[in-house]
Each structure stands twice: as structure tokens, then as C-alpha cells.
């Protein structure tokens, strides 16, 4: 089974080689790797070109954002199944083999995912919680519920997409900086089943250069804006149809409110509180009071939430 891989690349000269080499080290060898250089201004393109392999294709475009780069890569993909990998992350050698196995078990699923390990800025590593046991491999019965309860369920470097459904829902929303990936996961899951393995096969690096969180001003994430139709350009039909989707958005709104508070925008946190009111009094009040919390207290809460598991090693 041939799989396509898309790596969007923008100013990641110190990490792109690691990402590419993790693909070339896969035990599943039948793949194509499409690196979409999204107008990098550093030496990212040169670093990518140093690696010679006939399966690597480099596509150049003017800077349009990560969503445009992913969409361009998907357009170029020759496989019906497209695996995503961010330029600052990496895969363990069995990632593609696991994705191929999940696809073989259910070729009509919308997405195929694995559990991932997160490396913090300080170099420590942790696994997010999951509701699945360590040997789980199969269809997720209720994706929205599982996504709410499992922090390491899906990520833009731990997913393989069924191109048919991605095209059906319109691809990644372009000109959007925050929440565009979560929007896609939620839309895709509403169209067809999602397959998952609890095997840890992806490594997410928060310590890499040029991270989005350091470049983007605080804003209401796209998926929250869209599904709660905050600006009048979204669609709240799905949250009315799927109660567990609504619960996920509410839970995620609180999570992002804390992140926005860390960026210093208390006014925007209160705006989220007002918008959430239509869907949940409890979450609205929780977000409102969060806007008054001291930053020191919020930092301690985040430290507890991101507490590393000392026995984990990045290998």
C-alpha cells in the first residue's frame, strides 16, 4: 500500500532534517514524501534539499500559511491516504506500518491516528491521558467523547487522512492561524468513522523554533468560532446534532481561554465567556472567572497539567 506524506515547511531549518529522516527510517517503505516549502526565509529549503531520496518531492510556493501548504501537498499526493507531519516533529519507525494496518482494516474511515509523545520546552517528555488501553487498535466508537477525554488522541503529526473525505469537507481552511487543524478533525469525524492505535508512534516537539504560538496574536480559535457561529460565518448545526461535539467545544474553549490569558488578553477571555453562554452556563462562568485569575496561579495549573513522566525517553 502506497501512502503519501505531506510536510508543510516554513522556517524550520534546525528541525526539518530530523522530520525527513524519521520518514525515511520507516519500516513501511512504499510512500512518497511531499515537502511544501511555504516561502521560508531561512535555510529550511536548503536543508531539505540536502537529503537525497527519489521518494522526496519538494514543492515551492509563496507564503500562504500552513493550511494552504497542506492543501497544496494533498493536491500533489498520488495516494488516497495522506499522512501529515509537521516539520518540527518526527515519527517512530513503525508509524506508516501502523497506519497501513488501520487502513486495511477499514478503508472507508475518515482518519487514522496514533497516540503521541510530547517533548516540552525544557526537554522533558510526557504522554497525555487516554481512555484507551495500551493495546487498543480499531474504530473509535464515539470520537467526540474520546477527543474530550483523551489528550493524546490526534495531532497534526499523528494522523493519516482519507483524501476523499478531506475534499468533501473542503480541506484545511486557509488564512486561519489557530484551530484550523482541530476544525478538520471534527468535520472529518462527522463524515465517517475514525480508526486509532494506542501505540505511541509520533513525537511532538514544543521546543522547536518558530512555533505558531510565538508568532500569532491571541484570537478565538477557528473551530470554536465556526461551530458556535460566533462571527455569523460558521455553522452551529453539528453541535446541535452531536451533544458530545458541543461538550468538546466547551471543554476546549476553557482550555484555550487559559492559553489566551497566558498571552495577557483578559478581555478576549471574557468575550469567549459571553459567547459560550448560549451553550453552557457552567462553562461560561468558569471562563469568566478564569479571566480574573493571577497568572502565577494559571502557570502552576498548567505545570501540573503538563507534568512530565520521568520514566519516558525520546528514542
Q: What is the pLDDT of residues 178-214, one digit of tens each?
A: 999 999 999 999 999 999 999 999 999 987 665 655 5
Radius of gyration of the chain (CA): 19
All structural domains of the chain? 3-212 (3.90.550.10), 217-305 (no CATH)
d(CA 12, CA 190): 33
Percent of the chain whose pLDDT exceeds 90: 80
Query: Among 132-136, 140-144, 259-263, where is mean pLDDT lowest?
Result: 259-263
Query: Among 25-29, 74-78, 212-216, where is mean pLDDT lowest?
Result: 212-216
- The yes-or-no verdict on residue 299 having pLDDT over 60 is yes
Which pTM does this prediction carry? 0.92
Name the pLDDT band for 298 (thresholds 50, 70, 90): confident
For all residues of the chain together, what is the average pLDDT? Answer: 92
- The yes-or-no verdict on residue 311 having pLDDT over 50 is no
Amino acid at each position: 500500500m502506497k501512502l503519501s506524506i505531506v510536510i508543510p515547511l516554513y522556517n524550520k531549518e534546525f528541525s526539518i532534517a530530523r522530520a525527513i529522516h524519521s520518514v525515511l527510517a520507516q519500516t513501511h517503505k512504499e510512500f512518497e514524501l511531499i515537502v511544501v516549502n511555504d516561502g521560508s526565509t531561512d535555510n529550511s529549503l536548503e536543508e531539505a534539499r540536502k537529503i537525497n531520496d527519489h521518494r522526496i518531492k519538494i514543492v515551492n510556493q509563496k507564503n500562504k500559511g500552513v493550511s494552504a501548504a497542506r492543501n497544496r501537498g494533498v493536491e500533489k499526493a498520488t495516494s488516497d491516504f495522506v499522512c501529515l507531519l509537521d516539520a518540527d516533529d518526527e515519527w517512530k519507525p513503525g508509524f506508516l506500518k501502523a497506519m497501513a494496518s488501520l487502513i486495511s482494516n477499514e478503508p472507508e474511515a475518515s482518519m487514522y491516528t496514533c497516540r503521541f509523545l510530547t517533548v516540552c520546552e525544557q526537554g522533558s517528555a510526557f504522554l497525555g491521558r487516554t481512555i484507551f488501553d495500551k493495546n487498543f487498535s480499531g474504530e473509535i466508537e464515539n470520537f467526540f467523547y474520546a477527543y474530550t477525554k483523551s489528550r493524546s488522541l490526534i495531532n497534526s503529526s499523528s494522523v493519516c487522512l482519507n483524501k476523499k473525505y478531506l475534499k468533501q469537507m473542503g480541506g484545511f481552511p486557509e488564512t486561519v492561524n489557530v484551530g484550523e487543524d482541530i476544525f478538520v478533525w471534527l468535520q472529518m469525524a462527522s463524515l465517517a468513522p475514525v480508526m486509532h492505535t494506542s501505540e505511541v508512534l509520533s513525537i511532538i516537539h514544543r521546543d522547536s523554533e518558530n512555533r505558531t504560538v510565538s508568532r500569532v496574536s491571541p484570537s478565538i480559535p477557528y473551530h470554536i468560532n465556526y461551530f458556535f457561529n460566533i462571527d455569523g460565518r460558521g455553522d452551529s448545526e453539528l453541535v446541535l446534532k452531536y451533544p458530545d461535539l458541543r461538550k468538546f467545544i466547551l471543554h476546549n474553549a476553557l482550555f484555550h481561554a487559559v492559553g489566551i490569558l497566558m498571552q495577557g488578553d483578559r478581555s478576549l477571555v471574557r468575550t469567549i465567556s459571553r459567547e459560550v453562554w448560549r451553550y453552557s452556563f457552567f462553562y461560561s462562568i468558569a471562563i469568566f472567572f478564569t479571566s480574573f485569575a493571577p497568572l502565577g496561579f494559571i502557570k502552576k495549573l498548567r505545570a501540573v497539567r503538563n507534568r512530565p513522566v520521568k520514566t519516558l525517553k525520546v528514542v
